[in-house]
Amino acid sequence: MAGNMNEMEADDDIKCTCEQLISVMKTRGAEGAAKVEKLFGDASTLTVDYLKSSVTEGLSDHPDVIAQRKRLFGINVIPEPEAKSFLRLMWEAMQDLTLIILMCSAGISLILGLTIEIESNGWIEGVAILVSVIVVVVVTAFNDYTKEKQFRGLKNRIKEEQKFSVIRDGIVQQITVAEIVVGDVAQVKYGDLLPADGIVIQSNDLKTDESSLTGESDLIKKGSNNIMLLSGTHVMEGSGKMVVTAVGVNSQSGIIFTLMSGKKDMADHSHDDDDDEDEDLRIEDDTLSGNGEIDVEKPEKKKRLKEKSVLQGKLNKLAILIGKVGLCIAVLSLVVLIVRFCIETYAIKQQPWEPSHSRRFLSFVIIAITVIVVAVPEGLPLAVTISLAYSVKKMMLDNNLVRHLDACETMGNATAICSDKTGTLTTNRMTVVSSYLGKKYYHHNPVVNDLSTTYVELLCEGIATNSSYTSKIMPPPPENPDQLPGQMGNKTECALLGFVKKFDRDYDDYRKKITEEHFLKVYTFNSVRKSMSTVIPKSTGCRIYTKGASEIILKKCTSIVDSNGVIHDFSGNERDDLIKSVVENMASNGLHNLVNWDDEDSIIDNLTCIGVVGIEDPVRPEVPSAIKQCQNAGIVVRMVTGDNVKTAKSIALKCGIISENDGFTVMEGKDFNKRIRDKYNKISLYRMSKLLPKIRVLARSSPEDKYTLVKGLIQSKSIQDVVAVTGDGTNDGPALKVADVGFAMGIAGTDVAKEASDIILTDDNFRSIVKAVMWGRNVYDSISKFLQFQLTVNVTAVVTSFVGSAAIQASPLKAVQLLWVNLIMDTFASLALATELPSPDLLNRKPYGRHKALISRTMTKNIIGHCLYQLTVLFLIIFYGEVLFDIKEGRENETAHSLIPTKHFTMVFNTFVQMQIFNEINARKIHGERNVLQGILKSPIFLIIFLGTIVVQAILVETGGIAFHCLPIDLDLWLWCIFFGVGELVWGVILSYIPSYKLPKSWRFGTKPVEYPINEPDSVPDNRARLLWVRGLSRLQAQIRVINAFRSSLNDRRASTHVALGRRPTYGYIHTRNCVESTV
């Protein structure tokens, strides 16, 4: 406690201010290093003397210390844009052009009714329309408000789950990024997304991608000449430590964010030399999207985002087509009404103009507007939004954290999955199960007594030091001592660290003896190097420990250490025998191979091999069945891995991706690259289209191979798959971005991979991908159900209004009635049809893919069939109702545009609504199923809306009066209306017996391939990348944009690790020289 209080008192002596630190962080490269040296000395001096922290112990974890840091330097939180109020959402909803026209027309009608119109109740129709418009606006605003609330909740959850490693009281701990304070010593490693600004204390081949802030596309190496680490940038290679110097709005990304959000008072320190670079940006309120992301993309960039969704492109085209047809019919109706009225009134009857005629012309305009209101599918975006938002919420329970809404429905169209192996198909819990140590092969645990102390020390030191110090074996919790030890960090390294414990050694002892500060050089693992090397000082010079891919580096070993630590020559024949008898044996059992040797660079040979170990990572027990489900659902599963061919083939066989003698290809990345290129060494889509259908496993693949594979599957005209990709590493980013749907691992995945993904698998399990497929198909079907239902209503209402207008000079369905019908279609039907749970039957059919018609022949059959039924019933009632049902004829009353309702046209309205309500049940099935009631009791929302709509309709009919142009009707007429509604169910069964395959193919709509422009890696960075606040606020980048787009267009696996820990006494001079160079 005394120590904590001493540190608190020391905090009072902090010698630097927030302004000084912000000023320093604005500089770059050598200039920044020089400024730090001038003001503070070096990074260690800044940490210890000025920020009162410790390079090795970090800050104190005392709450008062942390609170004081927050008070002095701010908190690591960027204020979110203020949520839109309900009134603002109502105002935005009122900007709809059709609603504006309706309000204007209603206003004119109200004025005429109160002044010119003789009838005392002439104002009621105007008031009724205004009230109906207000209801539509309130419902739309409520849906938008609920949607935005859900998105903010999802965003907050993601932010709460983002953690970072810092050292406090000498203990490395994971804390949420919001708890990071200035003075914290943070550990940074490959794949991290930096949550705050900082200065490098230690760098192990550390390189970052700063394109998101500076526009620099090349990786920036961090070391003595470049010590600035910026928030929002990605660590692409290496590891190290940094002292946090700026957080939240005071960080470089925070300053830019606050500038873009117009909060100048929060960005007083943001003016620097970079201002000139931003002069061409138009900073407006609209530059912020609803999720707090800075949106300054070029129009063509936005277009590519909008065209990414397969379903979306089809919906856009359909919505535009329907809108055009509706507009044409509306204009035609208006022309017919006006011409007929003028001819009859002024030509035939020779009547002069009267003020009351203005109401007639206004009623014609209102009729035309209502036709547009009903015809234009403005309810489609709402249906899509509700279905996607509902699915996103449910998918979170199935371990799918959806970042981009359109990924839901796109996953339903997936025809191919390119999956990672480790962690996805396997458990990602690695354990050493076999080894080759001291020139002896142990099928299980090594016999410790067989190995000398010298040998064991060499082996354990190499494992402990040549691995990331963030990789650790965590003891089981005290409350559950029987639980397996936890593995933190890289799982392969954790397996090796666990192997050290089998020799009764503690890897931490070696790390305490040789701290990271003692490292002379670290060559971290990357996809090109495929190895990790650590240079540590020795009394005779220095030693380089290296581990890497066995078949690549074992061939370079010219000596080998026996169990007594004696070095022997290692001939080429002996090396080949070792590869065949040990390496290939392990690989064929699903073991991944690594070698450790004594070398600085992979190009240097004459290495000394110490040993080979094998690590087991079992296939997840549920994976084979999940892959079988995908195959039954018509989805091709491919495994893309960095392991060798034998290991990859073994795992693929266990998973069920391939089977013996099935004819499918297992290929290495280099062979794949060779076979897809033409004589000019250019990638040929023709060659790819011939090769890709046979490939099921791509081994020893690089990130470029994975990217090329995915891109080829999408672009090849003979394939054009809808591709889902899984990835966990930084280098998986390009493939995740180019894929239709990118899945990142929530546990093992790096921040870079998560940032590039569309969906995050919170359990890293392939089974969760299958669930995503099921939910995606459910979303697609839900939208198709709504589409079938809405188009039926649209066609029926538009035709009825047009024919009625031509025949009796008035629409049988009044404006206020059509607004109620529109409300049924838009909101209630959206909720009812878009919230049904998916069933396993969804995985028993083939995926839609890119070319499947949005409206199938079955759907077209249902739409036309039900329209014919409804129109027949309605026209019988309109023109023969008085004869068939013994009611007073009301056509003359409508022709005279009397505001007095009649039972005749009340029955027309009621029958029309009842047929739509019961047809909603028919719309639950879109694949020709005859039992439309199946599973209806499992859909409580549907039942509530179905029954609620009937009740509200009854109230409107019986009490609507002049406002809804309704007159209470007798029980027998009610029974007839319900009879015609129930008839829809019977008629639906009759239609199901008409074979859809016999219908003409022209009855399909939306079969035109949707363009899918591939986002090539930009050679020249654009301004957008410079301005992203990517740490937490941009984790839901496309969600709001997708909605706005809709609205605008109406992997038992065994992995073997060969560990070769070596030294090269023959190169002692070179080692010593390198040590001197490293020190310098």
What is the rounded distance in angstroms from the CA atom of residue 838 to the CA atom of residue 154? 22
What is the rounded distance in angstroms from the CA atom of residue 184 to the CA atom of residue 271? 26
How buried is 840 (Cβ within 10 angstroms: 0-12 exposed, 13-18 middle, 19+ buried)?
A: exposed
Nearest to 211, CA basis, from 1013, 1038, 1030, 758: 1030
The reply to whether 192 belongs to the active site is no
What is the rounded distance in angstroms from the CA atom of residue 141 to the CA atom of residue 147? 10
User: Do residues 11 and 206 make contact, with C-beta atoms less than 8 angstroms apart?
Assistant: no
Place of tokens 């709504």: 786
Tokens read off for 478: 């005290």
Place of tokens 């408000």: 145
How buried is 347 (Cβ within 10 angstroms: 0-12 exposed, 13-18 middle, 19+ buried)?
A: exposed
Tokens read off for 892: 């003359």
Q: Is beta strand 594-598 parallel, antiparallel or unpaired with respect to 541-549?
A: antiparallel
What are the residue ranges of helices labelled H in 514-605?
550-553, 572-578, 584-588
Tokens read off for 982: 């129930």
For the stretch 265-274, contacts whose Cβ atoms lie closer than 8 Å and that sit 24 or more positions apart, written own/partner, are 266/79, 269/19, 269/22, 269/23, 272/26, 273/26, 274/26
Tokens read off for 822: 């529109």
What are the residue ranges of helices labelled H in 273-309?
299-306
State the virtual CA torsion across 850, 855, 857, 859 in degrees, nearest 10: 140
Q: What is the largest CA-CA distance in the chain?
A: 122
| SS3 of 536-550 | EEECCEEEEEEEEEH
State whether residue 971 is helix, strand or coil.
helix
State whether residue 400 is helix, strand or coil.
strand
User: Do residues 740 and 772 make contact, with C-beta atoms less than 8 angstroms apart?
Assistant: no
What is the rounded distance in angstroms from the CA atom of residue 806 to the CA atom of residue 292? 52
What is the rounded distance in angstroms from the CA atom of residue 418 to the CA atom of residue 672? 15
Question: Catalytic residue among 11, 96, 144, 420, which?
Answer: 420
Give the single-character DSSP code of 100: H
User: Do residues 404 and 1035 make contact, with C-beta atoms less than 8 angstroms apart?
Assistant: no
Cβ neighbours of 138 (radius 10 Å): 14
Place of tokens 């796109």: 410
Cβ neighbours of 656 (radius 10 Å): 17
C-alpha pair distances (Å), 915 with each of 155, 795, 907, 977: 42, 13, 12, 8
User: Do residues 571 and 550 make contact, with C-beta atoms less than 8 angstroms apart?
Assistant: no
Return all residues near 363 (Cβ < 8 A) that are at least 6 apart: 109, 810, 897
Q: How far apart are the first and last CA of the chain?
A: 41
Tokens read off for 659: 């089977």
What is the rounded distance in angstroms from the CA atom of residue 182 to the CA atom of residue 673? 48
What is the rounded distance in angstroms from the CA atom of residue 746 to the CA atom of residue 424? 11
What is the rounded distance in angstroms from the CA atom of residue 1031 to the CA atom of residue 196? 9
- CB burial readout 317-338, b (16+ within 10 A) else e: bbbeebbeebeebbeebbebbe
Question: What phi and psi, each to the nearest 5 degrees, are found at residue 546?
Answer: -135, 140
State whether residue 999 is helix, strand or coil.
coil
What is the rounded distance in angstroms from the CA atom of residue 146 to the CA atom of residue 148? 6
Active site residues: 420
